[in-house]
Amino acid sequence: MKRSQAVLAVGTLAAMAAAGLWFGRQWNHGAPFQLVEADGLSPSSHPPPSPAPPVSEPERGPVTLTAQRMQSIGVKTGIVEFREIGDEVRTVGNIEADETRLSDVEVRFAGWVQKVYADAMYKRVRRGEPLLTIYSPDLVTSEQEYLVAKELLAQSKGQAKHAGWQSLVDASAARLRVLQIPEREIARLKKTGKIQSEIEIDSPVSGFIVERKAFPNMYVQPGTKLYSVADLSAVWVYAQVFEADLGRIKVGDQASITVASFPGQTFQGRVSFIWPEVDQTTRTAKVRLEIPNPELKLSLGMFVNVRIDLSMGRQLAIPASGVFQSGTRQIAFVDHGGGSFEPRDIEVGARAGDDFIVLKGLEAGERIVTSANFLIDSESQLQAALGSFAPPPPGAGAAAATNAPQGATLDYSSDPATPHMGSNTFRVKLTGGDGAPITGAQVTVTFLMPAMPAMGMAAMRTVTALTDKGGGLYEGVGEVQMGGTWQVTVLATKNGQTIAQKQFSETAEGGM
């Protein structure tokens, strides 16, 4: 037993070695391995997959409805007309200071801060109100020069000397003004003739302190910014507008904002600037609004709701509900009167509120359907489909026709009388031209709802075969898949020949 196992193992190893040698020779002779699939072809031998056929739009035909039918499905129409078109863009934003109303308080001389009157952020100050005092040796020297020139002018005799000293006094006063010394300090110096070691620095505007860098005993140099004062009698709002709306907004458009702090109150303004940059993350751009704020109700940092009013001028427009989006086409059903409707391809532009701007396909004064478009579209597709059926060639089924009843009539009913979503009982009564009941026929009831590409809905079709109950009565139970308008076809055949047919629309009750 052990000997036979050893012989088997040696044989297996020899076979593997022989196979390896053969594959090695094949490889050296330029015959690489080739993968073969189950059908005997290599992967490269398979033809490339054929492209998917393009999705075609269903054909549509003219539709004629009775007045009762139009009323039952709720058909409404609107007029195509020229009118002033306006729209709005709603977004949010935040209130910030008007940068053109920001004023920095700086000094043009070196010195030390002594007293600080404006000692807190967002403190309200008025124009000309003192903010702080500064002691400056350079300023004291300039005041001394002014007083000396003034004294020499008083002592001068002769017209030439008087004019010379007057020029020196004027130059000294101008130097004080260049150093931005308040006019009241120059007037005090001229009146009293006494030097004041500390000079008051006034606020240049009325507003709120939004930045403060002045503290007691601090040394300042020329150009040091001590305060920033914001005039909030007008503010800016930075609104975030989506990229798709930027093309509709322009500088000068009227805008308004509302804030939670003052419910029911609207603050008016206008668009003053549109940022030439779109945020890569949010796909929005900043739009700046200028809002008057005379009562100072709007505070910095407030979150606001923004409405930008857009004026698009006089345009040919239709109600937005009158445009039927089929997926690849835009269709309007034109009302020709008398219940006649024509499906027409149109092209619309921007939407403005409840309207669309018409670019092609419609003329002013025409009427279009604005309600029940889906139902009319279904009827239009059915009419186009029925119109595409070719009649049978002459003589077809002539042999069977000899046995077919002549002048047969078909009466259809259902239980309940108005079908609903789910199971329904269908009944058909067949009688011949002589009034005798027809038995032995094949009767079917077909419910068809055409495809609705705009809703992503495929066509639905159910066929119910009825059973011969005797006496010309046929009955069967069938399913209606959903509520809505269906196209119903009742067909009766006998011996392969159509003896009676009836087509009509039926609105089933129930949801989708």
Q: What is the 3-state secondary structure (H, E, C) of 225-251?
A: EEEEEECCCEEEEEEEEEHHHHHHCCC
Using DSSP's 3-state secondary structure scheme, residue 303 falls into strand
What are the sequence ranges of the domains in the chain? Answer: 1-42, 63-85+314-387, 100-229, 234-311, 405-508
- Half-sphere exposure at residue 70, Cβ-oriented, CA atoms within 13 angstroms: 16
Question: Does residue 323 register a pLDDT over 80?
Answer: yes
Cβ neighbors of 326 (< 8 A, separation 6 or more) are: 57, 377, 453, 454
The pLDDT tens digits of the residues spanning 123-150 come to: 999 998 999 999 988 888 888 887 887 7
Nearest to 136 by CA among 154, 112, 114: 112
Topology (CATH) of 234-311: Elongation Factor Tu (Ef-tu); domain 3 (2.40.30)
> Own/partner pairs for 137-145, CB < 8 Å, 24+ apart?
137/111, 138/109, 138/110, 138/111, 139/109, 139/111, 139/179, 139/181, 139/199, 140/195, 140/197, 142/172, 142/175, 142/176, 142/179, 143/176, 143/189, 143/195, 143/196, 144/195, 145/172, 145/175
Quick one: pLDDT at residue 29?
A: 43
DSSP-assigned letter for residue 282: T
Calculate mean pLDDT across residues 246-254: 91
Percentage of residues in the chain having pLDDT higher than 70? 81
Topology (CATH) of 405-508: Immunoglobulin-like (2.60.40)
**Mean pLDDT lowest for which of 69-83, 206-220, 269-283?**
69-83
Question: Does residue 475 register a pLDDT over 90?
Answer: yes
Question: Does residue 30 register a pLDDT over 70?
Answer: no
194's tokens:
């006494």
Of 129 and 21, the one with more pLDDT: 129
Quick one: pLDDT at residue 65?
A: 84
Q: What is the bridge-based pairing of β-strands 111-116 and 219-220? A: antiparallel
Cβ neighbors of 203 (< 8 A, separation 6 or more) are: 103, 105, 118, 125, 126, 127, 128, 129, 130, 131, 227, 229
Quick one: pLDDT at residue 162?
A: 63
Nearest to 369 by CA among 339, 391, 347: 339
Question: Does residue 260 register a pLDDT over 80?
Answer: yes
Question: Per-residue confidence at 7, pLDDT binned at 50, 70, 90?
Answer: very low
Using an 8 Å Cβ cutoff, are 508 and 483 in contact? yes
**Mean pLDDT lowest for which of 19-33, 292-306, 373-387, 470-484?**
19-33
- Nearest-angstrom CA–CA distance, 190 and 186: 6
User: What percent of the chain is helix, strand and coil (3-state, nearest 5)?
Assistant: 25, 40, 35
Question: Does 63-85+314-387 match 405-508 in CATH topology?
Answer: no
Question: Per-residue confidence at 285, pLDDT binned at 50, 70, 90?
Answer: very high
Question: Per-residue confidence at 43, pLDDT binned at 50, 70, 90?
Answer: very low
Quick one: pLDDT at residue 393?
A: 45
**Mean pLDDT lowest for which of 43-52, 231-240, 362-371, 394-403?**
394-403
193's tokens:
């003739």
**Mean pLDDT lowest for which of 174-183, 330-339, 427-436?**
174-183
Quick one: pLDDT at residue 18?
A: 46
Question: Per-residue confidence at 58, pLDDT binned at 50, 70, 90?
Answer: confident
Cβ neighbors of 64 (< 8 A, separation 6 or more) are: 338, 339, 340, 341
Q: Partners of 84 in the beta sheet?
A: 314
* Average model confidence (pLDDT) across the chain: 81
Calculate mean pLDDT across residues 350-371: 90
Of 16 and 432, the one with more pLDDT: 432
Whether CATH 2.40.420.20 fits 63-85+314-387:
yes
Cα 257 to Cα 79, 97, 101, 289, 326: the distances in Å are: 34, 16, 21, 10, 38
- Nearest-angstrom CA–CA distance, 487 and 227: 80
Calculate mean pLDDT across residues 493-506: 85
The pLDDT tens digits of the residues spanning 446-456 come to: 888 876 665 66
Of 321 and 43, the one with more pLDDT: 321
Using DSSP's 3-state secondary structure scheme, residue 318 falls into strand
Using DSSP's 3-state secondary structure scheme, residue 452 falls into strand
Quick one: pLDDT at residue 13?
A: 47
Q: Determine the CATH number of domain 100-229.
A: 2.40.50.100
Question: Does residue 16 register a pLDDT over 60?
Answer: no
- Nearest-angstrom CA–CA distance, 111 and 178: 16
Residue 65 zone, left/alpha/beta (φ > 0; ψ -120 to 50; rest) = beta
Of 500 and 426, the one with more pLDDT: 426
pTM of the predicted structure, to 2 decimals: 0.54
214's tokens:
């002045």
> Own/partner pairs for 454-460, CB < 8 Å, 24+ apart?
454/324, 454/325, 454/326, 454/327, 454/374, 455/374
- Nearest-angstrom CA–CA distance, 63 and 67: 13
Quick one: pLDDT at residue 453?
A: 60
